[in-house]
Amino acid sequence: MTTHRIAVLPGDGIGQEVTEQAVRVLRAVGKISGASFEFEQALVGGAAIDATGHPLPPATLELCKKAHAILFGAVGGPKWENVPHEVRAERGLLAIRKELDLYANLRPATCFSMLVDASPLKRSVVEGTDIMVIRELTGGLYYGEPRGVERFADGGARAVNTMVYTTREIERVARMGFEVARKRRKHLTSVDKNNVLVVSQLWREVVTKVAKDYPDVTLDHILVDNCSMALVHKPTQFDTIVTENTFGDILSDEAAILAGSMGMLPSASLGGTVGLYEPVHGTAPDIAGQGVANPIAAILSAAMLLRYSLNMVREADRIEAAVQRVLEQGHRTRDIAGPKDKALGTKEMGDLIVQHVERG
């Protein structure tokens, strides 16, 4: 039997609290499925700065490289805000992404029917929303050269960023888009600005070419401005979205609103040989240490780990169904509780989800 080696990097603040619950859920999956997991924990972020002076110690990177998947919590917090830029806690996460060539970020935006009223949008708009946004993570405007500011003698200035993509960079994330869409409802929407940007014209050309290898997936193209409107007007029209770095940064946050709370949003960063799974939220210093954080985003990240890194689709479904049932029964953590709900703590919510995973 294969042993799945999981590197566990809880990080700081509520990262510590929610990751613990995600590991418990994976242990429960191991118990019911017979799969064997080996969890090894390592330091990252502020916790690593305190212990070693560096946000990503070499031992942590080594562990990540040898693992089958990485379960990540969150990093950063006020304690480390004034450290030099190159050793900031957040650099730990950016360095892992770069070292492991994690070029695609997957962020699902699912509107759970019992939490519809937590969304600022109308029930008739958000009900039934189930979108996967895939954002290219290592190219485009955020990394392109030349970049910089030129200052002029008259006090004026000129600033430049460059949006640049190669065929290879577009093709690999497009393939990721088609592969993911294949595991969902087989509908991929590629987002670009083809009417203005030559980069988008190349993007559309390459995505259309890749589509020939995926005849079972329907592909359409949409302009980014139009997509932004459609996400809040008729989000149910989307299944899987693939787009470049900047557009994806903005659209994935817009789509997040559809899900109600930060505490509900998982994510995956894929690309190289090892995938990294983490809740979208940060370390929440305002509630850290109180045991009240919602562990669902971390637990759903563990479900993504099973689905995308270990191909344990049934077990991933089982975790998602357990979360659904616990919510259906009316259990809520503070961030998603209504005025009449009794708010559960992080561990209590974890206990309930573990029980439902074990019961099936």
Residues serving a catalytic function are: 142, 193, 225, 249, 253
22 belongs to the binding site for ligand NAD (CB under 6 A): no
**Least CB distance from residue 244 to ligand NAD, whole Å?**
20
Q: Which structure tokens are listed for 96?
A: 């892992």
Q: Which is nearer to ligand NAD, 190 or 283 (CB)?
A: 283
Residue of closest CB approach to ligand NAD: 282
Residue from 170, 297, 300, 344 touching ligand NAD (CB under 6 A): that is 297
Rounded Cα–Cα distance for residues 314 and 145 (Å): 44
Residues 244-263 that bind ligand NAD (CB under 6 A): 262-263
Angle, CA of 164, 195 and 131, to the nearest 5°: 75
Residue from 282, 315, 326, 349 touching ligand NAD (CB under 6 A): that is 282
**Least CB distance from residue 284 to ligand NAD, whole Å?**
4
Residue from 30, 272, 285, 345 touching ligand NAD (CB under 6 A): that is 285
Cα dist. 309→6, 25, 132, 212, 317 in Å? 10, 16, 17, 25, 14
Choices 143-151, 233-241, 249-257, 281-289 (CB under 6 A): range interacting with ligand NAD: 281-289
Q: Which is nearer to ligand NAD, 77 or 271 (CB)?
A: 77
Residue from 104, 181, 293, 316 touching ligand NAD (CB under 6 A): that is 293
Binding mask 146-185 for ligand NAD (x = CB under 6 A): ----------------------------------------
Reply yes or no: is the peptide bond before residue 295 cis, omega within 30 of 0: no
**Least CB distance from residue 169 to ligand NAD, whole Å?**
23
Q: Which is nearer to ligand NAD, 97 or 221 (CB)?
A: 97
Q: Which is nearer to ligand NAD, 92 or 139 (CB)?
A: 92
Binding mask 311-340 for ligand NAD (x = CB under 6 A): ------------------------x-----
227 belongs to the binding site for ligand NAD (CB under 6 A): no
Rounded Cα–Cα distance for residues 80 and 46 (Å): 6
Q: Which structure tokens are listed for 5?
A: 């080696």
- Who contacts 6 (Cβ-Cβ below 8 Å, separation ≥6)? 23, 26, 37, 38, 39, 40, 67, 68, 69, 70, 71, 305
What number of chain residues touch ligand NAD (CB under 6 A)?
22
Residue from 158, 215, 286, 342 touching ligand NAD (CB under 6 A): that is 286
Q: Which is nearer to ligand NAD, 90 or 348 (CB)?
A: 90
Q: Which structure tokens are listed for 57?
A: 């110690």
Rounded Cα–Cα distance for residues 279 and 297 (Å): 5
Choices 157-165, 230-238, 277-285, 313-321 (CB under 6 A): range interacting with ligand NAD: 277-285
Residues 61-120 that bind ligand NAD (CB under 6 A): 74-77, 90, 93
Radius of gyration of the chain from its Cα atoms, rounded to whole angstroms: 21
Pairing type for strands 69-74 and 3-11 reads parallel
Binding site for ligand NAD (CB under 6 A): 14, 18, 74-77, 90, 93, 262-263, 278, 281-287, 293-294, 297, 335
